[in-house]
Amino acid sequence: QVQLLESGGGSVPAGGSLNLSCTASGIHYADISMAWFRQAPGKEREGVAAIFASYMDTYYAPAVEGRFTVIQHNGERTLFYLQMINLKPEDTAMYYCATRRRTGLERWRQRPAAADEYNSWGQGTQVTVSS
């Protein structure tokens, strides 16, 4: 059974930085791809970054490209990170990590951060950016 646990959220002023972490257990890194999602109050969940480590491919939503970096570390445990710089008030949301079973690269590239493609989710960590 896949278990995901996020950490690293907090409150920062605009222009600040945060590093989110997601610890994954019950999976092997070669069998999955992973993404970070966020959901603000009253808004739909959106995918902000995804990584398919087996192909060394990444995806970023236009709103975060250049400011967010997704990293996967494969060791005794699989760890995912979302490094966020130059944060904006509109980045305020609950952030979730999620994994999906490995697919072909072309299929992944068609829908890298579609929530319905992901079947395991963490509980979330809150990010608040003040203006």
* pLDDT for 38 beyond 90: yes
* pLDDT for 30 beyond 90: no
Among the ranges 71-80, 85-94, 102-111, which has the highest mean pLDDT value? 85-94
φ, ψ for residue 8, nearest 5 deg: 105, -5
Is residue 115 within 8 A of residue 45, CB to CB? The reply is yes
* pLDDT for 77 beyond 90: no
Mean per-residue pLDDT of the chain:
94
Is residue 99 within 8 A of residue 33, CB to CB? The reply is yes
pLDDT score, position 123: 97
User: How wide is the angle at C-alpha 119 spanned by C-alphas 88 and 50, nearest 5°?
Assistant: 40
pLDDT score, position 76: 75
C-alpha to C-alpha distance for 92 and 1, rounded to whole angstroms:
30
Q: What is the mean pLDDT of residues 38-44?
A: 96
Banded model confidence at residue 120, pLDDT cuts 50, 70, 90: very high
* pLDDT for 6 beyond 90: yes
